[in-house]
Amino acid sequence: MKKYFIKHKLTVGDITHLSDSDSELVISSNELDIEDILEVETYEKIFLGQITDISSSSVEVEIIEEKGQRDTKYVPSITIIQSLSNDSKFNYFLEKSVEIGIEKIIPVESKYSLKEKKKALKDYPLWNKIVKEATEQSRNIFPTIIERPLTIKELLQHPLENNSIRLCLATENVDSKYIKDIEIDDKPVYIAIGPEKGWSSTDIDIFKRLNFQFIKLKGNILRTETTGLVIGSIIKYIKGEI
């Protein structure tokens, strides 16, 4: 039985479409027809679907049966390590991160952060509410994971995926590259974004110990609440996720 992957959440009775590339393959190969059964996987579950229509550019599928949970572990494709900023800026960053599909956010207190970890912990319930509402609006399959805030030193003990690409945006005097010069593949990506005053030398040393590569942007200097959104969107595009 043919298997196809769909990124958004599904339930029995839903009408969905295969991705553009899968639809093109089905149409060009003539291997499937209306009423044929196929297997559909999402990040969470496995379903049986039945083809209900094939047009010149799209294959329509009705979800007819749920087969259970996927066995594979979900690993976020992109995680943003975001230095804490003031309430309105950080809340805006959270909402828009969910909308563009950033899977995980780790808030950190760096030397020049505008908020301390202790105060940020009080905002954690509100952050989860913002994520929940934005997830419902954007129909993301998983709510963006928002972790409890850490100090930047605590990152040294925080579990990061071993086989990952680690990037730190830095305007400081460090050896850095442009994003186009970084090889981005299917590995999980971590992106560290500092406060508007930048990283301290101690912050930079911690990222070096964690084997982060330093990157820079051409053109305008972006605000801290938009920088992660821009870089995250660029990387999602490179990875074929947007």
Q: What is the CATH number of the domain that holds 63?
A: 2.40.240.20
Distance CA 99, CA 89 (A): 16
Place 140 in a pLDDT band, splitting at 50, 70 and 90: low
Domain containing 38: what range?
3-69
Question: Residue 166's beta-bridge partner residues?
Answer: 190
Place 142 in a pLDDT band, splitting at 50, 70 and 90: low
Looking at the structure, do residues 91 and 31 belong to the same domain, yes or no?
Answer: no
Looking at the structure, do residues 160 and 64 belong to the same domain, yes or no?
Answer: no
Dihedral sign, Cα of residue 141, residue 135, residue 75, residue 239? positive
Place 121 in a pLDDT band, splitting at 50, 70 and 90: very high
Looking at the structure, do residues 169 and 199 belong to the same domain, yes or no?
Answer: yes
Q: 62-96, pLDDT tens digit by residue? A: 999 999 887 666 788 899 999 999 889 999 999 99
Question: Residue 195's beta-bridge partner residues?
Answer: none
Looking at the structure, do residues 234 and 157 belong to the same domain, yes or no?
Answer: yes
Place 141 in a pLDDT band, splitting at 50, 70 and 90: low
Total domains, the chain: 2
Which two three-digit tokens encode residue 53? 């229509």
Question: How far is it between the farthest Cα atoms of the chain?
Answer: 62
Per-residue DSSP letters for 89-149? Answer: HHHHHHHHHHHHT--EEEEEE-TT-SS-HHHHHTTHHHHHHHHHHHHHHHT-SSPPEEPPP
Looking at the structure, do residues 91 and 44 belong to the same domain, yes or no?
Answer: no
Q: What is the CATH number of the domain that holds 208?
A: 3.40.1280.10
Query: Looking at 69, 87, 119, which one is the last position of a domain?
Result: 69
